[in-house]
Amino acid sequence: MVDVTAKAATSRTALAHAFIRMQRATLASIRNLKSPKGNPLEIARIAGISATKRTAELIPLCHPLALTHVDVRAKLCQNGIEITSEATATGPTGVEMEALVGASVAALTIYDMCKALERGMEITELYVLKKSGGRSGTYLRTAKRAKP
């Protein structure tokens, strides 16, 4: 692990994004709450929050952080579900990994809950939208990158 002993404890926030692409019929089932396992958006929210709190257990060299706020949101879109995950803590290191873990586990949960409806769902666009606090200050993603 990186030694953060000498770093000042500051308020740090990160916002991450993920997208799960799916067919319109799958979206319609989710919208009508006809997923075989229940409401995937609400379960994904809880799963994302729980995973965020366990990031240091999942990512080997991640510092364990005392999170002060976590929120995971899922929004139905025309061709899938957009997920955002926000994590906040006061400490010597950032919370980007926590936000990314929350978004990715929420997307994986939606896949798991809806795979009986569609196996071809695709999890894409996992990235940090914004981070603030710490020595490097604020980062704001300004534009989408071109696909390779």
Q: What percent of the chain has pLDDT over 70?
A: 95
| Tens of pLDDT, residues 87-145 | 999 988 889 999 999 999 999 999 999 999 999 999 999 999 999 998 888 999 987 66
In a domain, 11, yes or no: no
In a domain, 131, yes or no: yes
Q: In whole angstroms, give the CA distance from residue 57 to residue 113.
A: 24
In a domain, 10, yes or no: no
In a domain, 68, yes or no: yes
**Which CATH number does the domain housing residue 109 bear?**
3.30.70.640
In a domain, 6, yes or no: no
The count of other CB atoms within 10 Å of the CB of residue 140 is 10
Q: Give the closest residue to 13 by CA, choosing from 84, 109, 110.
A: 84
Would you name the residues annotated as active-site residues? 112
In a domain, 61, yes or no: yes
In a domain, 35, yes or no: yes
Q: How far is CA 134 from CA 11, 26, 75, 94, 148, in A?
A: 8, 41, 30, 7, 32
Residue 3 or residue 143, greater confidence: 3
Q: In whole angstroms, give the CA distance from residue 14 to residue 87.
A: 5
In a domain, 91, yes or no: yes
Statement: residue 37 has pLDDT above 70: yes
Domain total of the chain: 1
Give the model's pLDDT for residue 147: 54
Task: Name the residue range of residue 128's domain.
Answer: 17-140
